[in-house]
Amino acid sequence: MSGKPRLTYCNGRGRMEPVRWLLAAAGVEFEENFLETREQYEKLIKDGVLMFQQVPLVEIDGMKMVQTRAILSYIAGKYNLYGKDLKERALIDMYVEGITDLMQMILMFPFSPPEAKEKNLDSIKERATKRYFPVFEKVLKQHGQDFLVGNKFSWADVQLIEAILAVEENIPVVLLEFPQLQAFKTRMSNMPTIKKFLQPGSPRKPPPDERYVETVLKIFKK
């Protein structure tokens, strides 16, 4: 064992990408084990490694952790990205849950049938620009600080920059009416650990393509 966290998932974004983002933002190196076949997945279940028979799986500090939210909460707490008190943690939780709702739409978008893609993309744009991004634009404008909570870099900031970039990949002009978020994106993208994660060759995964969709369906769809 190298002591580095070990991540087990498909070789793509999915529900593991927020984990990669958070570890990278914390400056933590990690190893990855990529699932490529249904048999590999079934062996994990047979071996009792997956508590609820689901991935992501993250092996860290002697634990085999599942459930994305639990994994992210642990990493955020471990690396001091989870606020200074219960009130800040509650704010971070609310922001993260909101961003996760938006990211769920983005997560499922590559699996849309061709005839539904345009409609689903319109839904993502509508939710991003009318429901979610206005919240963070207002927060940043009202407190005039660089970060969302307590003027300190947190899990919420990591989730938000990930979401902004993911939406922009499909809707390049989505931040047109959000100057605070434009500035936030620039600040976050220039933070050393995030800047490194955004460089070619980093563990950050590319946008899902047809091969990724096929692999996911082959492994997980009964």
Where do the structural domains in the chain lie, given as residue ranges?
Answer: 6-79+198-211, 86-191
Say if CB 13 and CB 169 are below 8 A apart.
no
Q: Find where tokens 């062996």 sit.
A: 43
Strand ranges of the sheet holding 6-9, from the earlier edge strand across to the other edge = 31-34, 6-9, 57-60, 63-66
Q: Which CATH architecture has domain 86-191?
A: Up-down Bundle (1.20)
Q: Find where tokens 């085999």 sit.
A: 64
Mean model confidence pLDDT for the chain: 94
Q: What is the structure's pLDDT at 3?
A: 86
Domain 6-79+198-211 shares a fold with domain 86-191: no
Q: What percent of the chain has pLDDT over 90?
A: 95
Distance CA 207, CA 205 (A): 7
Query: Closest Cα partner for 148 from 187, 109, 113?
Result: 187
88 has a pLDDT exceeding 50: yes
Q: What is the structure's pLDDT at 221?
A: 81
Q: Find where tokens 């927020």 sit.
A: 18
| pLDDT tier, 24 (very low <50, low <70, confident <90, very high otherwise) | very high
Mean pLDDT of 194-200: 96
Q: What is the structure's pLDDT at 1?
A: 44
Mean pLDDT of 95-123: 93
Mean pLDDT of 114-140: 94
Q: Find where tokens 């922009």 sit.
A: 168
Q: Of 3.40.50.10490, 3.40.710.10, 3.30.70.141, 3.40.30.10, which CATH number belongs to 6-79+198-211?
A: 3.40.30.10
| pLDDT tier, 67 (very low <50, low <70, confident <90, very high otherwise) | very high
